[in-house]
Amino acid sequence: MIKNRIWFATGNKHKVQEAGEVLTPYGIKLEHYPLERIEIQADDPADIAAYSLAQVKDPRPLCVEDAGVFIDRWGGFPGPYSSYVLKCLGNPGILKLMEGEQNRKAHYVSAIAYRDESGVHIFRGTVDGEIGDSIQGTNGFGYDPIFIPAEGDGRTFGEMEPEEKNKISHRARAFRALAEWLTE
């Protein structure tokens, strides 16, 4: 199933940048494919990604990713609603709602739905961490300035260089799993 060029359908240029850097060492070039689709809501990001993928009618090897942040204390919310919640509340709003909260555990999830002539395949990645108590750093995007990965040194993803985030992020793990499968 060796492939050296695949397409990533997304409206988020940060995702393309991060995923492209993960695939380069495997000799796979990632091309951006503009994504226009209706995004469903579902508990599992893999179901959302697979539904979005099904709407893209293109025979080339192509993937869609759905990602989100799941906050333990809130039963996983915002999860699949991550982009909507960020748009409505922003990171300051999340921090306000978490004020005084001791259990700040959270994790990011990424699910990729990839399709080629062999069919549709799902790849997943997660990273554990916690929601900080202030906004720190300007790197990355979305929730990165308030997400402190457990495997780090206390800095948020927003304070890390892109290659540091890419060593441990949910997206990097999912795309590495895809790359290993594509090159095996």
Contact set with ligand ITT (CB under 6 A): 10-12, 15, 35, 65-69, 82-83, 86, 108, 140-144, 169, 171
Nearest distance from C-beta of residue 106 to ligand ITT, angstroms? 11
Rounded to the nearest whole angstrom, what is the least distance from the CB of residue 134 to ligand ITT in the complex? 16
Q: How far is the CB of 7 from ligand ITT (least distance, A)?
A: 13
136: Cβ contacts below 8 Å, ≥ 6 apart: 145, 146, 155, 156, 158, 159
Between residues 114 and 143, which has the closer beta carbon with respect to ligand ITT? 143
Give CA–CA dist 134/40, Å, rounded: 31
Q: Which is nearer to ligand ITT, 1 or 96 (CB)?
A: 96
Residue number, 1 or 43, with CB nearest to ligand ITT: 43
